């Protein structure tokens, strides 16, 4: 049997700490969440490698560094009460967020992925995550405002609904750009004013929806 604990520790040391991830809460969450249980069985031997992995329906689970980087940008020394995640996938990013935020609401457009993530997270004891099926580009107005919103798919622009659903001092992290390359963008709302900063280059699957890329 593989030593998953050792593999996670090596992942944190070599992929995260050496590349500048400093938030101790983020590092602790990455040490705790069993990424090998969020990928297909046949890919478990690659679970702690520095790469994204396919999870079905043309979707992926992000590379560990990107998960940590986006989480660090979103939390930025705070303990957010309510976080909205757009793009549940296998549930890995939601699990990491749930160890820092009080409540995580995650929206997935693919019914099969939403259902399997819901079961997986419950079985692993992540009881502060709610997985919903729907169009994440319109957010979730019924539970707004949010202290943080994370989008784990590449958007052609920042959806207006997500900006509107940020609370004061809220942070939105979203990859913005074309299909083949995006910039990891941080949106901050203070006293009703929006600031925007583009950062790391990245590549995500497309954000499909009413205020994203067109779907099938």
* Catalytically active residues, by annotation: 62
Beta bridge partners of 199: none
Within 10 angstroms of residue 178's Cβ, the number of other Cβ atoms is 11
Q: Cβ distance 151 to 86 under 8 Å?
A: yes
b vs e for 69-104, b when ≥16 Cβ sit within 10 Å of the residue's Cβ? bbbbbbbeeeebebbbbbbbbbbbbbbbbbbbbebb
**Can you say how many angstroms the Cα of residue 34 is from the centroid of all Cα atoms in its chain?**
15
């Amino acid at each position: 049997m593989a030593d998953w604990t050792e593999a996670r520790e090596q992942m944190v040391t070599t992929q995260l700490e050496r590349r500048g991830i400093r938030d101790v809460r983020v590092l602790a969450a990455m040490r705790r969440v069993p990424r090998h249980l969020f990928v297909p069985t046949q890919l478990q031997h690659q679970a702690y490698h520095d790469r994204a992995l396919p999870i079905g329906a043309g979707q992926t689970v992000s590379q560990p560094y990107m998960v940590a980087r986006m989480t660090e940008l979103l939390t930025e020394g705070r303990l957010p009460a309510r976080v909205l995640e757009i793009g549940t996938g296998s549930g890995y990013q939601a699990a990491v967020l749930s160890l820092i935020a009080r409540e995580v609401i995650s929206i997935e457009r693919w019914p099969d992925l939403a259902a399997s993530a819901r079961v997986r997270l419950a079985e692993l004891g992540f009881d502060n995550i709610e997985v919903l099926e729907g169009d994440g580009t319109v957010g979730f107005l019924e539970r707004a405002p949010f202290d943080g919103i994370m989008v784990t798919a590449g958007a052609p622009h920042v959806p207006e609904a997500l900006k509107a659903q940020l609370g004061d001092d809220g942070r939105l992290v979203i990859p913005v750009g074309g299909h083949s390359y995006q910039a990891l963008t941080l949106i901050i709302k203070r006293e009703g004013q929006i600031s925007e900063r583009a950062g790391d280059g990245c590549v995500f699957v497309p954000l499909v929806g009413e205020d994203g890329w067109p779907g099938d």
